[in-house]
Chain A
Amino acid sequence: MQGLEFSVVFENMNILLQGMFWTVVLCSSASLLSIVVAVVLAMTGISKLKPVRSATLFFLWVFRGTPLLLQLFLFYFGLPQVGLYLSPIITGIIGLTLHFGVYNADVLRAGILGVETGQHEASRSLGLSYFQTMRKVIIPQALRNVSPAVGNNLIALLKESSLVSIITVPELTLSAQRAISETFRPFEFYFAAGALYYVVNWGLEFILQRVEARTALTR
């Protein structure tokens, strides 16, 4: 029996911190982009034009019905076959953005439908167009109403981001694996990586709480 030796983690801490850095880059960009994607898909999902609505529902159905890992493989290994080469980090961001954008779109669509019709009427009666009303009045309120649910999705995004280690994005999980292959200390490094995920999660939850507290007054 080898026994546990955590000092080896501290000696290789910069490998883990680099991984954590990439996890933060990956997740913050994918989080923000997933909200942008959600706004677009939620709008097209309630469009009056049937083809637009159907295409959106089909897109949502495909992305919700297939595993993230498979989507990542398709983007990373499949797209080069049609001449599209994307770097691992870009592939990772796109994969997470689309996968969680779809979840957020569903939540946001419900949020948009939950805003009172009186808000539409007040805005339209001032002379704003449908899109101006959406942009200025409806979407900002819908986002506030669904911020707890979107927050949950973003926490899930952070944890699922470990999957992109498989397409060689040098994020936290892959960094831990690299450290392990040099030191043969799986328990220590997986444990430490888990702790660092927890730290990032804390940061995210802190931000989410701030966002909810700031918007609570205005409801």
Chain B
Amino acid sequence: MISLKDIWKSFGDNQVLKGISLEVERGKILVIIGPSGSGKSTLLRSINHLETIDRGEIWVDGVQVNAPLKGRKFEKHINRVRQEMGMVFQHFNLFPHMTVMENITMAPMLLKKIPREKADARARGLLEKVDLADKMNCYPVQLSGGQKQRVAIARALAMEPKVMLFDEVTSALDPELIGEVNKVMKRLAAEHMTMLIVTHEMRFAAEVADHVIFMADGVIIEEGPPEEIFSNPTHERTRRFLFEVFKS
């Protein structure tokens, strides 16, 4: 479903991604862990073309995201491709001037020309799924961090994406609010949504992942099923990282 081939990316002199390749099969969940600055967020953002890569190929559901097109043709292409991908950010990025309902229905109504009644009905369904049916007329400023993030997930799901990308979605949350967001993501996992998750939550990663990648300094150090990576890492670098994380 998602296929990355030899991805390279630098910011100026700083080489952030050094030849990353990976695959995510339909309905599977890939979790990327690693120290900050390892390039995992940049990698995830590249898939949605929020970062432009220097070299390599990104394929999602048989379509090349970084297709060799120019100017307006590429713009049209990328806007279409992005509709197939849901992205959730660390800082929620809800639209503060819209209600919860409007946040969710705006894109489907504008891009898929779905009539308001139908979009509203679907949004209500999604809000029930993220346990926020009672908040549909609130503005984002009235919500807690965990609630905001669940709305952000509903907003992404409203476009009926084929894959979901999660970029450290619980990193900005108070500890007691992390659980409610993880719960929603587990529900999605149970529905066999294809997901790529960048996270610092090792216990959550161990629980939901089909496959775990440990990244450091722009390369994949080690990968495998979660039980292997977490209980029996083969690389010194992975061991040290997990030791530091679980020490705290």
Contact = CB atoms under 8 A, between A and B. Distances in A.
Given A119-B93, A122-B152, A218-B98, 10 more contacts: A126-B155, A126-B156, A127-B79, A127-B80, A127-B82, A127-B111, A129-B75, A132-B111, A137-B95, A140-B97
B79 A128 contact: yes
Nearest to B138: A217
Contact of B107 (A128, A144, A218): A128
B217 to A, nearest CB: 25
Interface residues of B, number: 28
B111 A141 contact: no
A118 B91 contact: yes
B170 interface: no
Nearest to A136: B106
Interface in B73-126: 75, 79-80, 82-83, 85-87, 89, 91, 93-98, 106-107, 110-111
Contacts of A129: 75, 79
B156 to A, nearest CB: 7
Interface string B14-50: 0000000000000000000000000000000000101
Interface residue SS majority, chain A: helix
Contacts of B75: 129-130
A122 B106 contact: no
Given A125-B82, A127-B79, A218 B97 contact: yes
B37 to A, nearest CB: 20
B105 to A, nearest CB: 11
Contacts of B111: 126-128, 132
B79 A122 contact: no
A130 B48 CA distance: 15
Given A218-B139, A219-B141, A128 B93 contact: no
Contact of A128 (B86, B87, B96, B110): B110
A4 B91 CA distance: 66
Contacts, number: 68
A215 interface: yes
Interface residues of A, number: 23
A128 B48 CA distance: 13
Contacts of A123: 95
A160 interface: no
Interface in A167-192: none
Contacts of B97: 140-141, 144, 215, 218-219
A140 B96 CA distance: 10
A124 interface: yes
Contacts of A121: 50, 89, 93
Contacts of B141: 217-219
B82 A124 contact: yes
Interface string A149-176: 0000000000000000000000000000
B93 A126 contact: no
